[in-house]
Structure 1
Amino acid sequence: MFSLLRENIRIAMDSIKGQVLRTILTILIIAIGITALVGILTFLGALEKTITGDFASMGANTFNLQRYEFNTRNNRDREKINPIINYRNVRAFNDKFQYPFSKTSVSFTGTRGAEVKYENEKTDPEASVLGVNENYLENTGTEIDKGRNFTFFDIQNNNHVCLIGSDFTKNLFKNTNPIGKTISIRGVKFKVIGLLESKGATFRNNQDLKVLIPLQLARSIFTLPNINYNISVKVDDKQFLEGAQDEAIVTFRNIRGLSPVEENNFGLERSDDLINRISNITSYLYYAAWIISIITVFGSSIALMNIMLVSVTERTREIGVRKALGAKKHTISGQFFLETVIIGQFGGLIGIILGIAVGSLAASISNFEFTIPWLAIVAAVVTSFLTAVVSGLYPAVKAANQDPIESLRYE
């Protein structure tokens, strides 16, 4: 049995080598379908990992108080406009919310177009400056690469200190340790006490080109009206999360002066709720990717079948000679079937390589985090094999059922 299989493989390989142009075209047809499948799945995998990674860094024990609920804040047709979370709300919440084993982070974005100066060097006006308190890094899952975090006294005493993103080491502090150096933002000087670990960029939002400064100092520098503040609460243990959420809602309702019958005029979101929503959205994208890829592969399988039928027709006399020499039906069908499977696997291999290359290129252009798409690779191997099986069955059966006498007369 194994000797017959080896013989069929050898014959199939000889036939493939003898029809180089046809084989290349057939492999390319399969490769196009597999490239579409792998490329789309690779890109979606990078997209999902990047987005979920950004939200997961906040931790499963964190929730945010914000102006709107996640599912309504982007609704243009909403009838109710919630008031912003202003500084008075923030101060009142900090004073009144005293849930055990919890830490509250307060922050706001002063500007996204700051020019940061160091000695005779300066950045383009595209740096973000955030006013934060001492719990911001822990609640957002941001790590320190060098130096230290803000202390309670830094925030309370309005010390002129700051934390900077990793991208500043590529321009202002190239080949220089930034810790202890003094930078200037809008004429105000800050001493760099910490360098943040790189977090990359999402949808062109560079998270590594930002400066964190004490909250009160930021308020004195950036005096725009109607600043909306961000409140984030993190509990030490997930078992306290529900209780902390309930306490936060009651506290903020009292701050807003809401009666028991009035609805909340603010939103509360848990970080893992956002991750679940994003996963649901990307699942639909995966379904769409599979539908597109299946249509492409279906077209490839039809083309492969037609090419193999042409091959059977052109090799009719060869089939007759083999049958005259004693070859049985299963030997003939096995030869053509193996030939189709081998071509399909070659096409699948090339499609996987091209698909990963295309998907990783698209992910790189979009600044998404690329990972090896194992799911896409497995799907491509299985799909290319099934495509070859489906496409090779009919030509193999047709070849096996050829009449040997008629085949020998074929010119």
Structure 2
Amino acid sequence: MFSLFRENIRIAMDSIKGQVLRTVLTILIIAIGITSLVGILTLVGALENTISGDFASMGANTFNIQRYEFNTRNSRDRDKINPIISYRNVKEFKDKFSYPFSKTSIHFTGTRNAEVKYESEKTDPEVSVVGINENYLENTGTEIDNGRNFTFFDVENNNHVCLIGSDFKKNLFKDTNPLGKTISIRGVKFKVIGLLKSKGATFRNNQDLRVLIPLQIARSIFTLPNINYGISVKVDDKQFLEGAQDEAILTFRNIRKLNPIEENNFGLERSDDLLNRIASITVYLYYAAWIISIITIFGSSIALMNIMLVSVTERTREIGVRKALGAKKHTIAGQFFMETIIIGQIGGLVGIILGILIGGGISAAANFSFSTPWLAIFAATTISFVIAVVSGLYPAVKAAKQDPIESLRYE
């Protein structure tokens, strides 16, 4: 039995080598379908990982109060413009919100194009400077790689200290430990007390190229009007999250002086709500990927079947000779079926490699978080095998049913 199987593989490989051009075209047809599946699933997976990782970095058991909801303005509220969240709003909220087992952080982005100097070295003007309070790191899931966080006294006493992103070790502090060093931002000097762990970049927003400074000092440096602040609240236990949200909404409505019948003119978002919403969006992307790929793969299976039928017709005399020498129907069918399986698997392998390269290349260009698409690889391997089985079954049966006498007369 094994010797017959090995013989069928040898005959199939000889046939493939004898029809190089046809085999290559067939493999490419299959590979195109598999490439579309693996490439799209790889790209969608990388996009999902990136967005989910970005929002998950908000931290667990956390919600934000912001100017708009995550879905911003829907068709019903297209003309509604919410007022900014001012410093007076956030200061009043922090003073009045006293829910048990919760921490409130306040922050605002002073600029996204600052130039940071250290001695004779300086960065490109692409550094983000963020003013924060002592709870910002914990509430946003940001970790310190080396050094320490701000204390309450650092923020309240306007200490000229700062935390820097991990990318500063690649440019400004290549061969130097940044802790204890003094940097300059817009002529104001800050002592580096902490180096943040890398968080990567999302949609060209590099979170590793930023400087965090105490909130009050940031307000004195960046004095543009209408600065929009952000509030983040974290509770120690998820069971308190709903109660904290209700209390926060009530507190902020009172700060905004809204009467009971008025809608909120601010947004509130939970980290898990954002992740669930993102997951629901990416489901549709997966559906689209499968639909596009199935259409392409269906065309590939038809093309493979037609090519194998042509091969059966061209090798009619060969089939007759083998039957005359004693080959049985299942032997002839096995030879053609094995040839189809081999071509299908080679096409699937080529498609998987091309799909990962294309999807990974686009992900790298867009700074998405790439991960090996095991689901796509498994699906592609299974589909390429199924294509080969479906496409090779009819040609193999047709070859096995050839009449030996008529086959020997075939020219």
- For the superposition of Structure 1 and Structure 2, which TM-score range results when normalised by the shorter chain? over 0.9
Distance 1:352 1:177 in 2: 44
Paired residue type of 1:174: K
| Helix, strand or coil at the partner of 2:223 | coil
1:102-181 alignment runs, 5 A limit: 102-181=102-181
| Helix, strand or coil at the partner of 2:64 | strand
Distance 1:232 1:74 in 2: 24
> Aligned residue for 2:20?
20
Q: What displacement does 1:5 show?
A: 2.9
| Helix, strand or coil at the partner of 1:394 | helix
Deviations 1:57-106 (A, max 9, x none): 22230000011111234769623221111111101110111111111110
Distance 1:307 1:72 in 2: 53
Distance 2:260 2:75 in 1: 26
1:283-294 alignment runs, 5 A limit: 283-294=283-294
1:11-410 alignment runs, 5 A limit: 11-73=11-73, 78-410=78-410
**Deviates further, 255-264 or 136-145:** 255-264
Q: What displacement does 1:16 show?
A: 2.0
Task: Give yes or no for contact 2:133–2:215 (8 Å, CA) kept in 1.
Answer: yes
Distance 1:237 1:129 in 2: 31
| Helix, strand or coil at the partner of 2:264 | coil
Q: What displacement does 1:403 show?
A: 1.8
Q: What displacement does 1:325 show?
A: 2.3
Deviations 1:361-400 (A, max 9, x none): 1111111111111001001101101111121122112212
| Helix, strand or coil at the partner of 1:58 | coil
| Helix, strand or coil at the partner of 2:23 | helix
Distance 1:370 1:380 in 2: 18
Matched positions, count: 411
| Helix, strand or coil at the partner of 1:131 | strand
Q: What displacement does 1:182 show?
A: 0.6
> Under a length normalisation based on structure 2, what TM-score does the superposition of the two structures give?
0.97
Distance 1:71 1:158 in 2: 36
Deviations 1:157-184 (A, max 9, x none): 0100000111111211111111111111
Distance 1:372 1:259 in 2: 52
**Deviates further, 374-383 or 1-10:** 1-10
| Helix, strand or coil at the partner of 1:343 | helix
Deviations 1:193-215 (A, max 9, x none): 11111111111111111110000
Deviations 1:209-264 (A, max 9, x none): 11100001101110111111000001111111111111111111111111122211
Q: What displacement does 1:301 show?
A: 1.5
Paired residue type of 1:383: I
Task: Give yes or no for contact 2:73–2:80 (8 Å, CA) kept in 1.
Answer: no
Q: Equivalent pairs: percent with the same residue?
A: 84
Task: Give yes or no for contact 2:116–2:185 (8 Å, CA) kept in 1.
Answer: yes
Closer, same or farther: CA 274–384 of 1 in aligned 2, 3 Å: same
| Helix, strand or coil at the partner of 2:129 | strand
> Under a length normalisation based on structure 1, what TM-score does the superposition of the two structures give?
0.97
Distance 1:77 1:126 in 2: 35
Q: What displacement does 1:30 show?
A: 1.4
Q: What displacement does 1:2 show?
A: 4.1
Distance 1:12 1:47 in 2: 41
| Helix, strand or coil at the partner of 1:249 | helix
Q: What stretches of structure 1 of length at least 5 have no aligned partner?
A: none
**Deviates further, 289-298 or 115-124:** 289-298
| Helix, strand or coil at the partner of 1:180 | coil
| Helix, strand or coil at the partner of 1:356 | helix
Q: What stretches of structure 2 of length at least 5 have no aligned partner?
A: none
**Deviates further, 11-20 or 396-405:** 11-20
Distance 1:78 1:361 in 2: 37
Task: Give yes or no for contact 2:59–2:138 (8 Å, CA) kept in 1.
Answer: no
Paired residue type of 1:292: I
**Deviates further, 300-309 or 7-16:** 7-16
Q: What displacement does 1:331 show?
A: 2.0
**Deviates further, 305-314 or 182-191:** 305-314
Distance 2:64 2:215 in 1: 18
Closer, same or farther: CA 61–77 of 1 in aligned 2, 3 Å: closer
